Homo-oligomer: A and B are copies of this chain.
Amino acid sequence: MSALHDHTHCIADALTRADALCAERGARLTALRRRVLELVWSSHRPRGAYAILEDLSQQDGKAAAPLTVYRALEFLVEQGLVHRIESLNAYVGCAAPGDVHSGQFLVCEACGDAAEIDDPGVGAAIDAAAAERGFRVQRPTVEVRGLCKSCQENPR
């Protein structure tokens, strides 16, 4: 997310990884799904389904229906290519698809950036807390609201 960040490259990279992963799994990353994945990545920020829908409609000419986007997002989330940020009703590209992804985010209130972390300590603490209570974890969600480093340093 720095100004130096080569975002074009990073989108291309995400698409390449997605191609590889889906091929490996026999999952069908169709043109539409691939396009939606690209739009999710188009900024490094979490994006709402309707924002993506708008892009699809405007950039691709045809007016898509919400379901079109939701279905593609559902697939992408299932494949672990995209995460949903519950507290924002928004979606963001997964930084490390393929790896175990527990979905931990540091969400900056100021700049809107959502940094994905995969902190083993947090994961372990959750597992321990759940185990202690006999709870069987299926999908942990961690979304920490606060201020990212650069927004603390450059407040407005």
Contacts and interface: CB of A to CB of B under 8 A. Distances in A.
Interface of A: 86-87, 104, 106, 108-109, 115, 117, 119, 121-122, 124-126, 128-130, 133-149, 152
B137 A146 contact: yes
Contact of A146 (B106, B119, B139): B139
Contact of A135 (B122, B126, B137, B148): B148
Contact of A122 (B108, B115, B125, B143): B125
A65 B106 CA distance: 35
Given A136-B152, A141-B87, A146 B130 contact: yes
B137 A144 contact: yes
Nearest to A128: B121
Contact of A147 (B108, B126, B138, B145): B138
Given A122-B129, A125-B125, A130-B106, A139 B145 contact: yes
Contact of A121 (B129, B140, B143): B129
Contacts of A134: 148-149, 152
A142 B142 contact: yes
Contacts of A138: 109, 145-147
22 contacts: A86-B86, A86-B141, A86-B143, A106-B130, A106-B133, A108-B135, A121-B125, A122-B129, A124-B125, A125-B125, A125-B126, A126-B144, A130-B146, A135-B144, A137-B146, A138-B147, A139-B146, A140-B143, A140-B144, A141-B141, A141-B144, A141-B145
